[in-house]
Amino acid sequence: MRLWVDKIASATRNVPLRRDVRVGSDIVAQAGYLVAGTVRGEKSVYNQLEDLHGRMVTLHDGDVIVGVLGHRNALHGYSGHVPDAIRPGDVLQLLNLGGVIGRCTSQNPDVGRPFDVEILGAVLVFPEFESRAGTPAHIGMNAIRYDGNGVPDVPIVYVAGTCMSSGKTSAACRLIRQLALRNVSIGACKLTGVSLRRDTLQMLDYGARCAASFTDAGIATTSAGHSVPVARGIMQHLVREGAGVIVAELGDGILGEYGVQDILADAPLVSRSAALVLCANDPVGAWGAQRVLEQEYGLKITVVSGPTTDNDVGVRYVREKLGLAAINARTHGRELGDLVASVLDPRAAATPPATSPALIPSEPRG
């Protein structure tokens, strides 16, 4: 069947598509495969889709979209999985803004019910010249290749959080900006989470030379078991692109279900760690994260940022009770950059950026 689609989700970006697509009735019910479907209903919140260019477009009842099968386990969003079998006419749900589609099993009241998506079929590609036999498209096509072996010998600054929406992307972007002003060649990445292009685009906007995420490596949603080889492959890719320092955001929280723990426990990955920035929502989160990271993984926090440092109350607690540096990335981005730069190279502590940072509009917390 031939379809004209209204919107194509950013999660599909590894597969070159036009709005004129062909679909088949045989659907592979596994994460990463592309499906076309019709949006059912109207919503006033969480009613957008990120397109291939990273632009948020509003969805309407009857829109035909292309998305990617996958799961999600978000505390502040939706939880869902890929069902064992999928047929045309089945109704699934849009689990995130990037276009991940699955069967929703739980929702947060702040975002309401997800959009229903009536599945029309599997999106087909035709890799064989002049062949009429289509192949179900998967985001592993044209993805960053990785063998899971080795970690490049460059310093890595990890940005982790106690939960989603704890300020990780904001902190990573401020760090990238300050290091880039020191003429450091930054490779930026998001190693875990659910597919969304917005974060890596922001990293590029703030001065990263190159940026990549797990989606570029063919994964719609990360999980325990494959987060480590994907992370290693992404870092190798960034170094091939010219990165001298890597700023790596670990999406979701250190106790989430997206494979963050596997990365924290991987000796080759953490052996390259030059700094660990923890973003915490509140003092209790900072307290618990310090104990988890030190006692379970033997990792020391370099600096605490995020909402718990929004004013002096949290800053004072982190500094006096936990004995950790506390710097708010949004209000003291340069100070945060100074600290991390001094860890990367002690000589940089006394070396101010070559130019004053431009005023950059604040973005939603990552």
pLDDT tens string 167-221: 999 999 999 999 999 999 999 999 999 999 999 999 999 999 999 999 999 999 9
pLDDT for 49: 98
The H-assigned helical ranges of the chain are 168-181, 198-205, 227-240, 260-264, 267-271, 283-297, 312-321, 333-344
Residues of the chain with CATH 3.40.50.300: 156-350
Q: How confident is the model at residue 358 (pLDDT cuts 50, 70, 90)?
A: very low
- Distance from C-alpha of 259 to C-alpha of 240, rounded to nearest angstrom: 25
> For residue 353, what pLDDT band results from cuts at 50, 70 and 90?
low
The fraction of the chain above a pLDDT of 90, given in percent, is 85
State yes or no: pLDDT of 357 exceeds 70.
no
pLDDT at 103 over 50: yes
For the stretch 225-279, pLDDT in tens is 899 999 999 999 999 999 999 999 999 999 989 999 999 999 999 999 999 999 9
Task: Judge whether residue 73 has pLDDT over 70.
Answer: yes
Which one-letter DSSP state was computed for residue 56? Answer: E
How, if at all, do strands 303-305 and 273-279 pair? parallel
171: Cα separation from own chain's centroid: 14
| pLDDT above 80: residue 132 | no
pLDDT at 207: 97
What gap in Å lies between CA 124 and CA 130, rounded to an integer? 14
**What pLDDT, on the 0 to 100 scale, is given for residue 359?**
31
Provide the token pair at 332: 């003291």
Residue 347 clears pLDDT 90, i.e. is over it: no
Retrieve residue 161's tokens.
């959080």
pLDDT for res 267: 95
pLDDT score of 355: 44
> How far from each other are the two terminal CA atoms of the chain, in whole angstroms?
39
Give the dihedral of Cα atoms 52, 136, 6, 10; nearest 10 deg: -20
| CATH of the domain spanning 156-350 | 3.40.50.300
Residue in the block written with tokens 């100074």: 338
Strands 325-326 and 100-107: unpaired
Q: Is the pLDDT of residue 77 over 90?
A: no
Q: What's the helix, strand, coil split of the chain in %, to 5?
A: 25, 25, 45
Residue 33 buriedness (CB in 10 A; 0-12 / 13-18 / 19+): buried
Question: pTM, whole model, 2 decimals?
Answer: 0.91
